[in-house]
Amino acid sequence: MMAYTRLVDEEFLWGALYNPVVSNSGSEEAMRLVIFGSTNAGVLVIKSLLEYQSRFPKQISIVGVATDDPADPQTKISVKKRIWKYYNQEDMVVLRDKVIEAAIGGGLPCYTGSVKTDKFREIFRKWNPDALIMCCFGQKIDPFLFNFPRFGMYNFHPSDLASKIGEGSQPFHDTINNGKTTSVMTIHLVNEWIDRGPIVGFSSKINILKDDGNYPVNILSLQEKIPSVCGWLSIELVLEILKQRGKGISGPVTEINFDELTPVYIRQKLLEPANDDLSDNYTLPLHDLIQ
C-alpha cells in the first residue's frame, strides 16, 4: 500500500480520514466520481473503476471513498442488524482495511467516519462529485449527499427490490424466506427512503442454490456470490452516465437494461451453483474494457 497519513477528528464521531501521500488527481475534464462501499463488494467496485480510470483517464476521475468502520465501538451502522453480525471482530478489521488499502493504493482518500456531520460535508464539497456509487455501505444517506451529484447517487442492493423482496438490512434472508432460487443485484437511485429509490436496473439472474438444491448453510456465501457482479455493473453504469454527460444532459440515468449488456458467458457464470466454501469470492472475469 502507498504511504498515507491518518487524521482523527472528534467531529468525525468515529473512524478517521486516510489521505495518500501521493494522490491520484485525475484529469480536470473527467467526470468526478465518489464511491461509498464496504466488504469485498466495495473493494471490487473500487478496483474495477480504478482500472477503468487508468485506461480512460479523461473519462472518469475518482476523487474519494467512504467506507464503514464496524470495528469501532462508536460506529452507528447497525452492526448487529446488518451483514456485519456474521463477522467476528478480526474479520471486520480485515474487510475495513481492504477497502482502505484499495483506496490508498489507487491514490484516493478514504473516510471511515460518520457521513452526516458538518466535517464530512466539508470534505465532500472538496471532493465535489458529479456522480456517486454506493455498494454495501451501512449508513443512512441524507439529502445533502444524495442531492449533491448532478448525475445522481446510485446504490447497489443484493436483492430483487422490484419484486418487493429484501428491502433493508436482511436482503438474503428475505430472498430465502420467499423461496427464491435466484436473486439479482438491483441498482437504484438513492433518496430519503432506504432501498426505495427509483430502480434504474438490475443484474442478470444469479443462482443462490447449491448443487443439491439447498441454500448455503452460511449466509456469507450469498454475500460474496450476489455482489460478485458489482464490478461489471459499476462500469456499465459509469458508461451510461458518461453518455448522458456527453450529451450535455444533467440529472441521473433512469433506466439501464443491464441483462442485455451482460455477455452470455457472464450470465452463465452467475447461474453456476452456490456453495459453502467461504473462501470462494465467486470471482467473475473482468469487464471487457479492463481486461
Distance CA 38, CA 159 (A): 17
Quick check: 17 and 7 in contact, CB under 8 A?
yes
Q: Is the pLDDT of residue 25 over 80?
A: no
- Per DSSP, the three-state class of 11 is helix
Distance CA 201, CA 156 (A): 10
* Residue 27: predicted pLDDT: 87
* Residue 169: predicted pLDDT: 84
Quick check: 153 and 141 in contact, CB under 8 A?
yes
Distance CA 37, CA 39 (A): 7
Binned at pLDDT 50, 70 and 90, residue 81 comes out as: confident
Q: Is the pLDDT of residue 36 over 80?
A: yes
* Residue 24: predicted pLDDT: 85
- Which of 95, 280, 86, 74 lies closest to 170, judged by CA? 86
Q: Cβ contacts of residue 190 below 8 Å, gap of 6+? A: 132, 134, 141, 145, 146, 153, 154, 155, 197
CB atoms within 10 A of CB 255: 9
Query: Angle at which helices 230-246 and 39-55 pack, to 10 degrees?
Result: 50
Quick check: 22 and 107 in contact, CB under 8 A?
yes
What mean pLDDT do residues 119-142 have?
A: 97
* Assigned architecture for domain 4-290: 3-Layer(aba) Sandwich (3.40)
What mean pLDDT do residues 265-291 have?
A: 96
* Residue 212: predicted pLDDT: 97
Q: What is the mean pLDDT of the chain?
A: 95
Binned at pLDDT 50, 70 and 90, residue 112 comes out as: very high
What proportion of the chain, given as a percentage, has pLDDT over 70?
A: 100
The neighbouring-strand residues paired with 156 are 135, 187
Range list of β-strands (E), the chain: 4-7, 17-20, 31-37, 60-66, 110-111, 131-135, 153-157, 182-183, 186-189, 199-202, 206-207
What mean pLDDT do residues 17-22 have?
A: 96
* Residue 16: predicted pLDDT: 97
What mean pLDDT do residues 91-100 have?
A: 96
* Residue 168: predicted pLDDT: 85
C-alpha of 42 from chain center = 4
* Residue 219: predicted pLDDT: 95
What separation in angstroms does the CA of 172 have from each of 167, 181, 208, 215?
10, 11, 10, 11
User: Domain residues of the chain, as ranges?
Assistant: 4-290
What proportion of the chain, given as a percentage, has pLDDT over 90?
A: 91
Quick check: 238 and 217 in contact, CB under 8 A?
no
Binned at pLDDT 50, 70 and 90, residue 80 comes out as: confident
Taking only the tens place, the pLDDT of each residue in 64-73 is 999 999 999 9
What mean pLDDT do residues 29-54 have?
A: 97
Q: Is the pLDDT of residue 213 over 80?
A: yes
| Residue that wins the pLDDT comparison between 93 and 25 | 93
- Cell 427490490 belongs to which residue? 161
Cα atoms in the Cβ-side hemisphere of radius 13 Å centred on 52? 27
Q: What are phi and psi of 141, to 5 degrees?
A: -100, 135
* H helix or E strand, kind and range, residue 87: none
* Residue 194: predicted pLDDT: 86
| Residue that wins the pLDDT comparison between 79 and 167 | 167
* Residue 26: predicted pLDDT: 80
**Angle at alpha carbon of residue 202, lines to 96 and 241, rounded to 5°:** 80
What mean pLDDT do residues 128-151 have?
A: 97
Q: Is the pLDDT of residue 224 over 80?
A: yes
Distance CA 203, CA 184 (A): 5
The neighbouring-strand residues paired with 201 are 187
